[in-house]
Chains A and B, each alone.
Chain A
Amino acid sequence: MSVALVIGTKKGAAILKSADRKSWSENFVLKGWAVTASAKDDQGTVYAAVAHDVYGPSIVASDDLENWRQLEAAPRYKPGEKGNAEHIRIMASGDFMGRYKDAPRLVDQIWTLHFAHGTLYAGVSEAGLFASRDRGKSWEPVDGFNNHPTRDSWIPGFGGLGAHTILSDAGNPERMWVGVSSSGFFRTDDGGKTWTQKSAGVPGENGQCVHCVANDASDAGILYRQEHRGVYMSEDGGDSWQKIEDGLPVSELSEGLQCSFGFPIVMDRRTGHVFVVPLEGDNFRIPRDGKLTVYRSQKGAQWEPLRRGLPENSFEGVLRGAMTADQLDPGGVYFGTTSGAIYGTRDVGESWFEIARGLPRILSVEAFAR
């Protein structure tokens, strides 16, 4: 029942390993690179998306989590593709000479990696979806998504226009979902040729700011969604959404809406438990009263606070990719904070323990059980 955690930080990755989920070894790799996402394929190879503010993004891979090699290729748009001017203004702060004034479409970051049905997918910023059917040797754009008919109306979020969530359906390779900040949550039912916005029931007057969505690929139509404007559930593959905030703390957003604000949402597939980390609204983005608290719900019912072992006087956030579950029995859940601490549970959230601290800002957390 050993677990390896790949903790992606702003300046490298911490590899944490444990045979019993009590004592952990730590090794820091990929020094200097922001490690924005990771995923494992069906042969045990782990892929990590890396990026640097100056030198751009790429993908590295490892079979042992110690020795990493850069893949021959990485997602790239074709030269001449028109990009989003607002996104370029956000992301190209180093464009001192105005070379991006015509807003080319560039991949500046890989937000998420997802392996399903023999294909490795990458969700990128500027928002787009790419697929590799040869384990990263080559990448193809998913044109049906990248050239979506509504693309001209897509609005970047505070972190730019990024495709940060990819979900799949184990029983149906034609069906997938992709979340984009702040343009919404899209589903394809024809293997990526066409994509439909799936946000009915979720408020989105100023852009559809989906933060994170979770599902169990083996029962894929049940979806849990942490939106800028609250927490929602769908039982029909995203066709309709219902708010599920009973027991969650709510805060007032800038626009006046009262809802539960946060970023990650994670599922323990074996028990159907769902986990979120509420923050005090979009103005403050820190735990209320400094009490870092995870909330747990079973299948969208009443949420309960889980605080045992978590710090008092903590004013750190948890980013959308920085929480995960190991899917073991009993379930382990792990999250990293913007202040570089890692917390975990090995009893489905009943108690928490600190695994590491002092890391750079944590961007992504994945657990790979062996």
Chain B
Amino acid sequence: MSVRVHMPPLLRTLTGGVRQMTAEGRSVAEVMSDLSKQHPSIARHVFDEEGHIRCSIVFLHDGVLVRAGEAADHSVHDGDEIVMTNALSGG
């Protein structure tokens, strides 16, 4: 499945300013894993040492909120869009 991923502004400094990237996978987690293989500089910012997606990252998959802990079980389809963002917080 080929999915478009919208990168958060902070991480675009590591992708040469590219806002959208394309990656393959059957779930949100697989897409993020493929994206990290394509761009190793963002891998450590997406996955922790245990291989988990960092706990305060959240995704919008075609408008549906997907928490980091749900990303492995959340299926995606060809042509879908994922917005990578972070949990709301102040300060």
Q: Mark B4-19, 1 if CB is under 8 A from A, else 0.
A: 0000011100100000
B10 touches A56 (CB 8 A): no
- Docked-complex contact B55 and A95, CB < 8 angstroms: yes
Name the one of B50, B56, B68, B89 contacting A106, with C-beta atoms under 8 angstroms. B50
Question: A100 to chain B: which residues have CB within 8 Å?
Answer: 55
Beta-carbon contacts of B28-61 to A below 8 Å, as 1s and 0s? Answer: 0000000000001100111011111011110000
Q: Which residue of A lies closest to B70 (CB)?
A: A97
Interface assignment of B87: CB less than 8 Å from any CB of chain A: yes
A76-108 vs B, CB cutoff 8 Å, 1 = contact: the mask equals 111111000000000010111101100011110
* Chain B 66-91 interface 0/1 with A at a Cβ cutoff of 8 Å (1 = within): 01111000000000000000110100
A78 in contact with B10 (CB, 8 Å): no
For the complex, give the distance between the alpha carbons of A55 and B12 in Å. 12
Majority secondary structure of chain A interface residues (helix, strand, loop or mixed): loop
List residues of chain B with CB within 8 A of the CB of A79.
49-51
- Kindly state whether residue A70 has any CB partner on chain B within 8 Å: yes
Known A92-B55, A94-B56: A104·B45 in contact at CB below 8 Å? no
How far does the Cβ of A188 sit from chain B's closest Cβ, in whole Å?
25
Q: How far is the CA of A294 from the CA of B89 in the complex (A)?
A: 35
Q: Are B10's CB and A70's CB within 8 A?
A: no
Known A54-B87, A70-B14; contact A96-B44, beta-carbon cutoff 8 A:
no
- Identify which of residues 42-58 in chain A touch chain B, using a CB-to-CB cut-off of 8 Å: 52-58
Closest approach, in angstroms, between the C-beta of A47 and any C-beta of chain B? 16
A56 touches B45 (CB 8 A): yes
CA distance A78 to B50 in the complex (A): 8
Extra contacts besides A32-B10, A97-B69 (13): CB < 8 Å: A52-B45, A55-B45, A56-B48, A58-B45, A70-B41, A74-B44, A76-B44, A78-B49, A79-B49, A81-B49, A96-B67, A97-B68, A106-B48
Interface residues, chain B, with chain A CB atoms under 8 Å away: 9-11, 14, 40-41, 44-46, 48-52, 54-57, 67-70, 86-87, 89
Q: What are the 9 closest A-B residue pairs judged by CB atoms, nearest first?
A: A94-B56, A97-B69, A55-B45, A54-B86, A54-B56, A95-B55, A32-B10, A104-B50, A76-B49
16 A/B residue pairs, CB under 8 Å, sorted by A: A32-B9, A52-B10, A53-B56, A55-B45, A56-B48, A58-B45, A74-B44, A80-B50, A96-B55, A97-B55, A97-B67, A99-B55, A100-B55, A104-B50, A105-B49, A106-B50
